[in-house]
Each structure stands twice: as C-alpha cells, then as structure tokens.
Amino acid sequence: LDVARFGESDGILTVNEDKVRKDAWKYRDAVIRALNADLPFDQFVHYQLAGPPRIVTEAADYSALHQFIHLGTRLQNNADPNDKQWHRLDDMVSTTGNAFLGLTFGCARC
C-alpha cells in the first residue's frame, strides 16, 4: 500500500483542509483480499494496471485493484488545469515505474 501511495485522504493542503477519499478503502480491502487469497503476483500486477477481466472466475472481487493508477497525489491549489494534468500523468508513470520496474523516471520528466 505504501508503494501505491495509498492514503484515505489527500493530506493537509491548506489550513484545516484534509479531503477524505471516501472510496479509498475499496482498494485497500481488495489488496488485502488478494494477499490473503495468495493471488499470483503476475495476476495481482495485471489487475492493478489493466483491471481484472470482465468475467472473473475467482470468488473474490478484485475490481477495485485498478484504482492503483489513480491513487496519486492531488494538486488542489494549482490554478492551471494543464499543469495539474501534467503532474497527475507524471505521477502515474513514475509510480508505476517505481513499483513494478524498480526504476525512477525523474530524468525523463522533461
């Protein structure tokens, strides 16, 4: 969960503001279910990057695992929507590289 940047809130962005991510628990619970069920690691990674197949034969529901890519930081105070989107996409790419490849993409940012 740490590698995926999981948090149940956006953190303190300004004074007395901490926006709660009301559905974040679904990802956490899906990760716990996958680990408890000994889901093979290649399937676990596939479900996080592409989501589970439409027809799932497993009894457990892993549909929330695809939220991995959207768990990143939120730039609430940035007025430029293009800049905000660029930072969001950069966070998705760098977190995916760090988590699954063990590589940093900081040098490829510009």
Considering the domain boundaries, does residue 2 fall inside one? no
Considering the domain boundaries, does residue 100 fall inside one? yes
Considering the domain boundaries, does residue 104 fall inside one? yes
For residues 12 and 107, the answer to whether their CB atoms sit within 8 Å is no
Range of the domain at 82: 9-108
pTM of the model: 0.66
Considering the domain boundaries, does residue 36 fall inside one? yes
Considering the domain boundaries, does residue 64 fall inside one? yes
Considering the domain boundaries, does residue 4 fall inside one? no
The DSSP letter of residue 22 is T
Please tell me the total count of domains within the chain. 1
Estimate the share of the chain in helix, then strand, then coil, as percent rounded to the nearest 5.
50, 10, 40
Print pLDDT tens along the chain (110 aa). 767 777 776 666 556 666 777 777 888 888 898 999 999 988 888 888 887 776 665 656 777 777 777 776 666 666 677 777 777 777 778 888 878 887 777 666 66
Considering the domain boundaries, does residue 89 fall inside one? yes
38 Cβ contact list (under 8 Å, min separation 6): none
